[in-house]
Each structure stands twice: as structure tokens, then as C-alpha cells.
A and B are shown apart, each in its own frame.
Chain A
Amino acid sequence: MSLNIDQIRGLFPVLHQEVHGKPLIYFDNAATTQKPQSVLDALSNYYGRDNSNIHRGAHALADRATQYYEETREAVREFVGAKEAAEIIFTKGTTESINLVAQTFGRKFIGKDDEIVISTMEHHSNIVPWQMLCEEKGAVLKIIPINEAGEIHFGEFEKLLSPKTKLVSIVHASNALGTINPVRKVIDAAHAVGARVLLDGAQSTAHLEINVQELDCDFLAFSAHKLYGPTGLGVLYGKREILEAMPPFLGGGEMIKEVTFEKTTYNEIPFKFEAGTPNIADVIAFKSALDFIKQYGKPAIKAHEDALLAHANETMKPIKGFIPVGTAEEKVSVLSFNINGMHPFDVGQMLDAKGIAVRTGHHCTQPLMKRFGIEGTVRASFAVYNTKSEIDKMAEGLAQIARFKNK
């Protein structure tokens, strides 16, 4: 199915504005996507009609809010293909989801001299929590190397695996390069040595069809705001038997079964991991974002984004001084690059002056930038509402900017 992009753009109020006197071209989707009107309406409706605390209220509003909240959990279950909704935990975002696993699963099941494997292209949020854990437990962090195109060396990865490997935590799609990792093979290889696998799905869930049961990953972490949903909300999927074996993360209300001063017993999953009043409004609105994606279908969205990326590669290539960074065979719609002789900040600022929003810098992947021997990149990342004509405008602008140092 080919999408009607004009009609889709009509659903996103934020896109229809001028920046510095130029029509906004929003290419910072890997940082956060814009929100359709349905998500904005859901937020407003919740506060305007249903606002109440969920799960133990003895009144109609609380019942309604609880119902909507749990409907989102079911929608997320379906979205990732989990066996049951209880395996879906709401968090603040991908970062908190990963930290939750590090602080609970990690603290209980990873000990001295055990090994955790990550890749060179991880976001800091999939590096630092493991470094903290390794420091505390005396465990060892192992790094999968990558090639010049920005793809992991699978053979080297296999060499890192051993009975000491307790966890492989790997990004599904790289935020800085767009590389899609061969996670199916990674998971199988890790399981063969008895290791668990966490997938960082922050950049993949908006683009790729994901079925956690087929993939057989043990954990999947992602954020709502990169999926056309609200900020401050994330998801942690975990297999029931693992979540049940894990100790709680935060202590407080909601996560308990019974509290006495002598001993507290904990609630069932997922509530064991959702202490305190959760982010009710954003959870409820997130369902509208998932409905938006479902309405068009990820295959159609991905096909559109792939066409945008191919068009971008083609139109930017002739620009004198254009240096692509990350040229993997399999990519999500991320175009990372540098302009010869220019700092990414300057290129970003000049694009901004043309109304084009991109991200510049190290993209929270400093070890990856070091691997490529660069300080950072300019990153344009495309979403379902972007168009080829926007890319043409960027190519035109970039050609002019590049001439500054590439005459």
C-alpha cells in the first residue's frame, strides 16, 4: 500500500509552521517524532474527562482511567507480539528500562568475572548502566567490534561468547548510523551459551515489525516518544519467568502485595515494577500513537522511509565534500554525514537557518565516534510524514553550505 503523505502530514499540527521565515523541515525524528492530533486529543481528553488515579479507586473515573491504561498495555503487547500483557512494564523511557534490568536482573544474576557483551555502536544508555554494574559486581564488559560500514563483526561476536557470558545487550537499530543489527542471529548465538539478551529497540520499534516471541529476546526496551507518542514514557518487555525471578526496582505503593513493618511481599508482574502513581496520561495517549502506526502498518511506513533514505543517498552523493558515516546494507531511515572541513555544529546551524531541523554532535555514542575517528556527525532522520521534496531542499541547502569549504 502506498501512503497518502499529504493526508498524513495533515494529522501533525507542528509540521505546519515557519522557522526563521522558512517552512519547517523536521529531520530530527530519531531524537523524537512529532505527535499526531489524535495523541494530543487523548492527552487533553484524559485530563479534561477521566483524570483520576488508577487501580484502586472506588469510583467511575478511576475505573475508566484504569481501563484505558490497561488497554494501552494490551496494545503494546500486541505491538511487540508478547505472550501476555503482564510482560509489559511501563517506565520513563528506554534509559530507565535498561537501568531497571541492570539494577534488578543484573544485581541478582550477574556476579564477579561474569561477562556482559555490548557493541561498539551502543548509545550511552546501553553502556553506562552496565559499566556501573560491572564496577559494583566485578563483572567484565566485552565490546563487539564493527567494520567501516558500521556493521558488527559477527565472527568476532561469536568469539566473545562463553559460559561466562550472562547477558548480551545490543541495539536493534543504531541511532547514530541507522545500522540494523542481525539480532535474530545474535539472540540465537547468545542463547546457545546460556546468556540472556536485551534488545535496545529505541530506534527500531517505529520502523521494523517486531515480534518478541519469534525473536525470542529476553528483554526489549523502547520509548513512546520515538513512536509518535508522548515523552517521558517507555516500555520494558521481559519474559514472564525472568521478570518473576527479578527483585523489584523501586519500592513504594502499587508494587506491594502486603506491607507490615516486619516484612513486605511484592505484587505480581507487571505491577511489581511500577511503584508509585504511573504516567497515566501519557500511557493512555500512547495507545493513540500505536493506533496511528497500526492504521498504516509498519511495512508501508518502512517502505516510504526506505524510499526517502534511498533518495537522500542519491541526492546528497554529488555534493562536493559530502562524507556519509554509516553505510550498512541494512539501515533504518538515518542519514549520518559530515561535510569535509566543516564542524557538524556549523552545518547544523546553517541548516537550521534554512528551516531544516537536524541533530549534530556525537549522538550519545562517543565510543562509536572514536571508532570512526570523528568528533560527531550531522544526522538527518526521516519519519512517515517526510517527503522527497523536503530532502531535495536539504540537498540544495547542503550543496550551498558545503561550498563554504569545498570550492
Chain B
Amino acid sequence: MSSIKDIQEEIVSEFEILGDDKESTVFYIMELGGSLGKFPENERKEENIIKGCQSKVWLIADDVDGKVHYQADSNTDITKGLISLLIRVLNNRSPEEILNAELNFINRIGMGSIIGSQRSNGLSAMIKQMKLYAFAFQTKQNA
């Protein structure tokens, strides 16, 4: 399995191909949203909604053999695309790896200017919530 660093490099080069064309970039992010796995209907509830996102984002995580397995969904396709990028980088890794991960690809692909300030805040809230899950599992594993 590639490292968090390598996957970020992959993402950066994919976005580099799109260049400065915002239109293709936004379309690409929306298409990425389609790659998100199906979210369990019974988990689509209030307590799984991430606070701080303008659109609705549901996120759950399981500890599968010591690795964090994330599942997420959103009511908007662009947000789904953003989550799919985060999941691609962080899924099925140990809590330590996730907590230590420096997610520099977001700034490197200039996500702020692509998605605007509102959605950038939402993206930060998603990362925070993903790390919180990792922290909770780490605490449990060390207990």
C-alpha cells in the first residue's frame, strides 16, 4: 500500500494535468464523488453529521484490525468528491499514521481558490472529524 505521502503526490499530479482550468477541475471533483462507496442508510442520522459544513456530510469510522475504515456521504457532489480524496489518502491506516499525517495536497492543488472559503472551512471540519475518530481508536487500542 502506498504511503500517505505518495498518494498525496499522485493527487497533486492528477490535478496538475487539469492546470488552471477551474471548470475542468470542478467537474473532476464532482466525478470523484461518484467513486465514494455506498453509505449505510441506517447511519444517515443527525449524530453522524459533521458540524461546520454548509452542505450535509455524514461520516462514520470503524476499527478494522487496528486500521481505521471510513465511510462518508454528502448531499452535494462536490463535497462527495472532496471526501473521496480524503478517504483515498487516509483510509485503512493506523490511527498513528492518520494523526501524524500532514495533508499538504489540499494547499498544493490550490483547493481554497477552487472551492471557495465556505467549503474550505467545511473541508477543515471533515479532516478534524477524521482525526478525532483516529484519536478515539488510538485511545481504545492503548487502553
Partner of A353, one of B22, B76, B79, B119: B22
B76 contacts A343, C-beta separation under 8 Å: yes
B27 touches A350 (CB 8 A): yes
What size tier do the contact residues of chain A reach? Answer: 10 to 19
List which A10-29 residues lie within 8 A (CB) of chain B: 20-21
- Asked whether B23 lies within 8 Å of A346 as measured between CB atoms, the reply is no
Q: With a CB–CB cut-off of 8 A, which chain B residues contact A20?
A: 22-23
The answer, yes or no, to whether B77 is at the interface (CB within 8 Å) is: yes
Is there a chain B Cβ closer than 8 Å to A261's Cβ?
no
Cross-chain contact B23 with A345 (CB below 8 angstroms): no
| A–B Cβ pairs within 8 angstroms, 15 of them | A21-B20, A21-B21, A343-B55, A345-B55, A346-B77, A349-B26, A349-B78, A349-B115, A349-B119, A350-B23, A350-B27, A353-B23, A353-B26, A375-B75, A404-B77
Report Cα–Cα, A375/B76, bound state, in Å. 11
Q: How far is the CA of A349 from the CA of B75 in the complex (A)?
A: 14
- Taken residue by residue from 74 to 91, chain B's Cβ proximity to chain A (1 for < 8 Å, 0 otherwise) reads as 011111000000000000
**B22 to A21, Cβ gap below 8 A?**
yes
Q: Is A354 an interface residue (CB 8 A)?
A: yes
A residues in contact with B4, CB < 8 Å? none
Decide if A242 is an interface residue (CB 8 Å cutoff).
no
Q: Is A310 an interface residue (CB 8 A)?
A: no
Q: Whole-angstrom distance between the alpha carbons of A211 and B11 in the complex?
A: 60
4 closest Cβ contacts across the A-B interface? A343-B76, A353-B23, A20-B22, A353-B22
> Which interface class (under 10, 10 to 19, 20 to 34, 35 or more) fits B?
10 to 19
Among B30, B55, B75, B77, the most chain A Cβ lie within 10 Å of the Cβ of B77
Q: Does B40 make an interface contact (CB < 8 A)? A: no
Pairwise interchain contact B78-A345, C-beta atoms closer than 8 A: yes
Interface residues of A in 300-353 (CB under 8 A from B): 342-343, 345-346, 349-350, 352-353
A354 and B23 contact, CB distance less than 8 A: yes
Chain A residues whose C-beta falls within 8 Å of the C-beta of B115 in the assembled complex: 349
B76 interface neighbour in A345, A354, A404, Cβ under 8 Å = A345
Residues of A close to B30: CB separation below 8 A: 346, 350, 404
Compute how far the CA of A342 lies from the CA of B27 in the bound complex, rounded to whole angstroms.
13
Question: Chain B: which residue is nearest A350 at the CB level?
Answer: B26
A342 touching B22, Cβ below 8 Å: no
Chain A's closest residue to B75 (CB) is A343
CA distance A168 to B31 in the complex (A): 48
A349 CB contacts on chain B under 8 angstroms: 26, 78, 115-116, 119
Contact A342 B77 (CB under 8 A): yes
Chain A residues positioned under 8 Å from B20 (CB to CB): 21
Bitwise interface map of B from 1 to 24 toward A, beta carbon under 8 Å scored 1, else 0: 000000000000000000011110
Chain B residues near A353 (CB, 8 Å)? Answer: 22-23, 25-26
Asked whether B54 is an interface residue with its Cβ less than 8 Å from the other chain, the reply is yes
The interface bits of chain B over 50-85 (1 if a CB of A lies within 8 angstroms of the residue's CB, else 0) are 000011000000000000000000011111000000
The complex places the Cα of A343 from the Cα of B78 at a distance, in Å, of: 9
Nearest Cβ in chain A — how far from B34, in angstroms? 10
A377 to chain B, nearest CB (A): 14
Once the chains are docked, how many angstroms separate the CA of A20 from the CA of B79? Answer: 20
| Cα separation A354 to B76 with both chains bound (whole Å) | 19
Residues of B contacting A404 with CB < 8 Å?
27, 30, 77
B23 to nearest A CB, angstroms?
A: 4
Instruction: Give the Cβ gap from B56 to chain A, nearest Cβ, in Å.
Output: 9
Max chain B CB contacts within 10 Å: which of A20, A21, A345, A375? A345
- Chain B residues near A343 (CB, 8 Å)? 55, 75-77
Q: Which residue of B lies closest to A345 (CB)?
A: B76
- Residue of A20, A349, A350 with highest tally of chain B CB at under 10 A: A349
Taking each of B25, B54, B76, B115, which has the highest tally of chain A beta carbons within 10 Å of its own beta carbon? B76
Chain B residues with CB under 8 Å of A345's CB are 54-55, 76, 78-79
With CB as the reference atom, state the residue of chain B lying closest to A405. B77
